[in-house]
Chain A
Amino acid sequence: MKRLALVAVATLATACTRPEVLPRMPSAPLAESGHTALDTTPKQDRRLVPAEAYVRTYLQLFGGLAPLEVQRRARGGDGGSLFDTWDDYLSALGFPDYRLDLPRGTQTNALMMAAFERLGVALCDRAVEHDLKSRPPPFVKDRLVFAFEPPGGAVTAAAFAPGFDVLHRTFLGYPARLGPAGREAAFFELYQQTAARHAEKGAVKSRFTPSESGWAAVCYGLVRHPEFHLY
Chain B
Amino acid sequence: MSPLARRPSRRTFLHAAAGGAAAALASSPLTRALADTPAAETEFFVFIHASGGWDVTLWADPRNEKRGIVDPATTDNTDVAPLHRWVDAPHDGDVKSFALVRPTGSNIAFGPGIGNLADMYDRLTVINGLSMNTVSHPDGTAFSATGRHLNGSRVPGSSVDTILASELGKTALFPAVSVQFPSTYAGEPGLDRRAVPLVVGQIGTISRSLVRAGQYDTDADRDAVTTLLSHEAQTLASRSTYTDVLQGVSVQYEGLRRMLGSNLQDVFTADRLRKDHPEFDYKARFAGNAAVNAAFVVEALKRDVVRCVGFSMGGFDTHNANYRFQAHVQQDLFELVAALVQKLDRTPHPSLSSAKLSDHTHILVVSDFCRTPQINMAGGRDHYPNNSALVISPRFRGNLVYGKSDVEQVLPARAGRFVDGERAVAPPDLLATFVSAFGVPPRRYMRDGEIVKELLRA
Interface size in chain B (residues, C-beta < 8 A): 61
Q: B137's contact among A101, A186, A204, by CB below 8 Å, is which?
A: A101
* With known contacts A105-B199, A107-B193, A125-B217, A91–B205 Cβ distance under 8 A: yes
Chain B positions 199 through 233: 1 when the CB is less than 8 Å from some CB of chain A, otherwise 0: 11100111011111111111011101110110111
Considering only residues 178-231 of chain A, those with a C-beta below 8 Å from chain B are 180, 182-183, 186-187, 190, 193-194, 197, 204, 206-208, 213, 216-217, 220-221, 224-227, 229-230
Instruction: List chain A residues, Cβ under 8 A from B197.
Output: 109
Instruction: List chain A residues, Cβ under 8 A from B194.
Output: 110
CB distance from B153 to the nearest CB of A (A): 9
Q: Give the residue name and chain of the A residue nearest to B231 (CB).
A: A186
Chain B positions 34 through 48: 1 when the CB is less than 8 Å from some CB of chain A, otherwise 0: 000000000000000
The reply to whether B253 and A113 contact each other, CB–CB distance below 8 Å, is yes
Q: A108: CB under 8 A from chain B?
A: yes
Cα–Cα distance between A115 and B137 once the two chains are bound (Å): 30
* With known contacts A97-B201, A108-B196, A117-B256, A206–B215 Cβ distance under 8 A: yes
Instruction: List chain A residues, Cβ under 8 A from B200.
Output: 91-92, 111
The reply to whether B212 and A186 contact each other, CB–CB distance below 8 Å, is no
Instruction: List chain B residues, Cβ under 8 A from A125.
Output: 213, 216-217
Q: B235: CB under 8 A from chain A?
A: yes
CB distance from A45 to the nearest CB of B (A): 4
The reply to whether B201 and A42 contact each other, CB–CB distance below 8 Å, is no
* With known contacts A117-B256, A190-B225, A41–B216 Cβ distance under 8 A: no
Q: A61: CB under 8 A from chain B?
A: no
Flag the segment in A18-26, A81-89, A142-150 that touches B.
A81-89
CB distance from A134 to the nearest CB of B (A): 16
CB distance from A88 to the nearest CB of B (A): 4
Q: A80's contact among B208, B215, B249, by CB below 8 Å, is which?
A: B215
Q: B246: CB under 8 A from chain A?
A: yes
Q: B380: CB under 8 A from chain A?
A: no
Q: B255: CB under 8 A from chain A?
A: yes
Instruction: List chain B residues, Cβ under 8 A from A44.
Output: 242
The reply to whether B242 and A45 contact each other, CB–CB distance below 8 Å, is yes
Considering only residues 178-203 of chain B, those with a C-beta below 8 Å from chain A are 180, 182, 184-185, 187, 193-194, 196-201
Q: B249's contact among A101, A182, A226, by CB below 8 Å, is which?
A: A226
Instruction: List chain B residues, Cβ under 8 A from A224.
Output: 225-226, 229
Q: B10: CB under 8 A from chain A?
A: no
Q: Give the residue name and chain of the A residue nearest to B211 (CB).
A: A81
Cα–Cα distance between A141 and B209 once the two chains are bound (Å): 33
Instruction: List chain B residues, Cβ under 8 A from A167.
Output: none
* With known contacts A105-B199, A107-B196, A190-B228, A213–B209 Cβ distance under 8 A: no
CB distance from B361 to the nearest CB of A (A): 23
CB distance from B189 to the nearest CB of A (A): 13
Cα–Cα distance between A76 and B237 once the two chains are bound (Å): 38
The reply to whether B232 and A183 contact each other, CB–CB distance below 8 Å, is yes
Cα–Cα distance between A179 and B211 once the two chains are bound (Å): 32
Q: A15: CB under 8 A from chain B?
A: no
CB distance from A98 to the nearest CB of B (A): 11
The reply to whether B255 and A113 contact each other, CB–CB distance below 8 Å, is yes
* With known contacts A42-B241, A111-B209, A227-B236, A117–B222 Cβ distance under 8 A: yes
Considering only residues 69-106 of chain A, those with a C-beta below 8 Å from chain B are 78, 80-82, 84, 88-92, 97, 100-103, 105
The reply to whether B232 and A207 contact each other, CB–CB distance below 8 Å, is no
Instruction: List chain A residues, Cβ under 8 A from B347.
Output: none
Instruction: List chain A residues, Cβ under 8 A from B256.
Output: 110, 113-114, 117
Instruction: List chain B residues, Cβ under 8 A from A105.
Output: 199
Cα–Cα distance between A17 and B218 once the two chains are bound (Å): 81
Q: A169: CB under 8 A from chain B?
A: no
Instruction: List chain A residues, Cβ under 8 A from B240.
Output: 42, 46
The reply to whether A194 and B224 contact each other, CB–CB distance below 8 Å, is yes
Cα–Cα distance between A53 and B246 once the two chains are bound (Å): 20
Cα–Cα distance between A108 and B256 once the two chains are bound (Å): 12
The reply to whether B260 and A114 contact each other, CB–CB distance below 8 Å, is yes
The reply to whether A114 and B225 contact each other, CB–CB distance below 8 Å, is no
Considering only residues 237-256 of chain B, those with a C-beta below 8 Å from chain A are 239-242, 244-246, 248-249, 252-253, 255-256
* With known contacts A110-B255, A113-B253, A121-B212, A102–B199 Cβ distance under 8 A: yes
Instruction: List chain B residues, Cβ under 8 A from A103.
Output: 155, 182, 184, 199
The reply to whether A45 and B259 contact each other, CB–CB distance below 8 Å, is no
Cα–Cα distance between A51 and B352 once the two chains are bound (Å): 41
CB distance from B223 to the nearest CB of A (A): 10
Cα–Cα distance between A101 and B153 once the two chains are bound (Å): 13
Q: B64: CB under 8 A from chain A?
A: no
Considering only residues 1-56 of chain A, those with a C-beta below 8 Å from chain B are 41-42, 44-47
Instruction: List chain A residues, Cβ under 8 A from B331.
Output: none
Instruction: List chain A residues, Cβ under 8 A from B217.
Output: 121, 125, 206, 208, 213, 216-217, 220
Q: B388: CB under 8 A from chain A?
A: no
Q: B174: CB under 8 A from chain A?
A: yes
Q: B78: CB under 8 A from chain A?
A: no
Q: A118: CB under 8 A from chain B?
A: yes
The reply to whether B216 and A114 contact each other, CB–CB distance below 8 Å, is no
Instruction: List chain B residues, Cβ under 8 A from A80.
Output: 213, 215-216
Considering only residues 123-146 of chain B, those with a C-beta below 8 Å from chain A are 137-138, 141
The reply to whether A108 and B212 contact each other, CB–CB distance below 8 Å, is no
- Of A84, A110, A114, A208, the most chain B CB neighbours within 10 A belong to A110
Instruction: List chain A residues, Cβ under 8 A from B405.
Output: none
**10 A-B residue pairings within 8 Å (CB atoms):** A82-B213, A89-B205, A92-B209, A108-B248, A114-B259, A121-B213, A121-B222, A206-B216, A208-B217, A213-B221
> A-B pairs with the 7 shortest C-beta distances?
A110-B255, A45-B242, A111-B198, A88-B208, A109-B196, A91-B201, A114-B209
Chain B residues in the interface with A (C-beta under 8 A)? 51, 137-138, 141, 155, 174, 180, 182, 184-185, 187, 193-194, 196-201, 204-206, 208-218, 220-222, 224-226, 228-229, 231-233, 235-236, 239-242, 244-246, 248-249, 252-253, 255-256, 259-260
Besides A114-B256, A226-B233, 5 new A-B residue pairs in contact (Cβ under 8 A), listed by A number: A89-B209, A110-B252, A121-B222, A190-B228, A194-B221
